[in-house]
Structure 1
Amino acid sequence: MTQLVLTAKNLLDRFYGCEYRAHFLVKGVFDYQIDNANKSLFIEIIGCPGVGKSTLIDYMEEKELIKGLICTKLWATRLQRNNKIASAYTSILDYKIMSLEDERVRSRYLRHAIIPRAMDKYIENNKNPTVLLIDEGLFHHFKYEISDNWEQNKFIFSKLMEKRILVHMIARPEIIAERILKRYRETGNLLPYYKNKQECEIIEYCRKAQEKRKKVIRKFKTRGVPVLTINAEDSSQENTKYIDDFVKKKGQ
């Protein structure tokens, strides 16, 4: 094998290694296909674990309404400087980490902030309006920290949330539990939240989780964050249409 081939192989291996690490930390980030957007937006799909977010996103990807963001682009963006965004995320993390004693848990929340912060920088640095659809974004990981600190840092958090649309998926707790257990029977996969729980316990967990999420979402809505609530019991086709209509109104 010639030196040139060896060099090319090493470079390719490094690229794939970088791509793999990026993919590991970039979960569910997609370019949303919208024509003539006048401003950049984040569409955050939120809801109780197991409600059907991934099913909806898979449908949208299949219909080519969204396409996966190249991981390495986002991975590289995290290193770029932006004082406003850095200040906002420092406020969130300082508040969150202060209440955590376990070092591993603290480290996990620091990792949770890497990609949302990179996405904020990516949007900020793009010259053309960009619309991203996200599964498990900033709101998913830090909704309570932002809500609790909003009044003390109105300017910071208003700027952070002004580009975001929340698409809130709901369903009857019984339906969520039924879907979770059906998936478990078919695949053997069960989300950590639901391990060692009977069906009635899963139903109760989903009921409480949805009520808690609804309360904090109402607070965000009163602060001007656009929220679209959709019923996961409706078809993916119907919900895609609701989202598309809502996003186009906000993006024009």
Structure 2
Amino acid sequence: MTEVPITRYRRHRFPAEIIAHAVWLYYRFPLSLRDVEDLLAERGIDVSFQTVSEWAAKFGLKFAYQFRRRSRGSFTDKWHLDEMVVSIKGKKYWLWRAVDANGYILDALLQSHRNRKAALRLVRKLLKSQGAVPRVMVTDKLRSYSAAKAEFIPSVEHRSHKGLNNRAENSHLPVRRRERRMMRFKSPRQCQRFVSAHSQIANLFHLHRKHLTAADYRQLRAHAVTTWREVTLSIEA
């Protein structure tokens, strides 16, 4: 009987399957690095939480980039934009986020200001990453959004009302949970790196379960897991 060859990343002692599984646990669920270490230990895999941290930092963005490429052009043309405050070492930052009408995260950008310049940067980044112009842009009452719209997409319909933007506000909740679990972000770089990877991995497993039958949900979940394995085990690292 022929044995299946073990996939390995270059210069890494553990097989790619173990590394990918550790990264999946960390970004898919609200777990700390030590939680992931314990879960792997229960499976007989002796890895320190520092190693898990290095894997998450190195491979999280690599995986996210591939998922972003695969999903390009598959989002709706209605964008919801919002921002939330993040405290890092006593300094206030703003995490700007855009989601589509189905709750899929288009992009997330940490910035030190909540003004016109920051809104311009977000919209510019969105247009570049999505390669398309939205039909509708939904925001709260922050005037910076109107300035960014007038600068880049003046013909797009703009709905500015706090009550219409629950979709974007709800998308902040998973990051809030992780922020508490991580006992706050340690630096702006760590925060940006985490949300960039987390958003794309969350999109892959965002299956709208309450609108599906059990059979349909299992089928979509299996497809998401298959996609995860295809990407993580084929990547060059």
TM-score range, shorter chain: under 0.3
- Give the structure-2-normalised TM-score: 0.25
- The structure where helix makes up a greater share of residues is 1
- Give the structure-1-normalised TM-score: 0.24
